[in-house]
Structure 1
């Protein structure tokens, strides 16, 4: 496996954005945060705030993950301050999951983050996403906050 991170072009970004809005909306519904009828519009607003200039939004680095010429996923790293980064998205496309692409991508993004001068990287993972939580813990990411809620 030879993982390479290539800056997204506009076509790849549009494909990612369509996927990401739906995925984020679905995850918010699963978590009990949003209702079905409002989820897509709320997710769209969030992405418009985070990426007002699309893939050209300053301090945001959106990459297509490739294994050779094959597209296997995407990762989005935002530079929050001069020293802190935040991964807003890591998605390995269906059919490519469970093959080590997530782990290798995280290792590659850490190399790039250091080149950008970052000293730390944060990320968010939904509590129900045990596969992602396990991966991040194995890579040395530590929980900093835990939000808990009870539905009545």
Structure 2
């Protein structure tokens, strides 16, 4: 079966609430697992972070929210923010998500290429992201695409 084209489409206001809920839930689940935290606390933290990053929703400057399309079907989303912290424009992938049935077929690699193209088009010199340590599948993908570790957080439970 031939590969369907993969593209990004800016999300519209009717999709924003569902986008935010998916980001909050998926980030909270991964954070709760990584930090051995209660899910409800991780969800509260995730919602607070998303609200702080997108105070004006889709109108928040330098934040770009996309649906990932495979053919005509939405199979995931991508959230890119642009910063100017180190004297140059840098893109940050706040969230990338593919539906379970879209995984394992090379779509992640294709979406990352589209993310890099989008970041370049936004004037970014670099692109970066955060990945939880236990997400070895994503880490392998990013490393294979040339991403390198630039900082490392470590934690020890004292209880």
Q: Which of the five TM-score ranges fits, normalised by the shorter chain?
A: over 0.9
**Counterpart for residue 67 of structure 1:** 70
Q: CA RMSD in A?
A: 1.3
**Counterpart for residue 49 of structure 2:** 46
Runs of 4+ in 1 over 2 A off after TM superposition: 33-37
| Superposition deviation, residue 33 in structure 1 | 5.8
- Structure 2 distance, partners of 1:143, 1:77, is 19
- Structure 2 distance, partners of 1:147, 1:134, is 18
**TM-score, length of structure 2 as denominator length:** 0.90
Q: Extract unaligned runs of 5+ from structure 1.
A: none
Indicate conservation of the 8 Å contact 1:12/1:64, yes or no.
no
| Superposition deviation, residue 132 in structure 1 | 0.6
**TM-score, length of structure 1 as denominator length:** 0.94
Q: Does 1:7 align with 2:1?
A: no
| Superposition deviation, residue 121 in structure 1 | 0.6
Count the aligned residue pairs: 152
* Residue 37 (structure 2) aligned to one of 34, 38, 61: 34
**Counterpart for residue 148 of structure 1:** 154
- Structure 1 distance, partners of 2:32, 2:79, is 22
- Structure 1 distance, partners of 2:104, 2:110, is 12
| Superposition deviation, residue 123 in structure 1 | 0.4
Q: Does 1:57 align with 2:63?
A: no
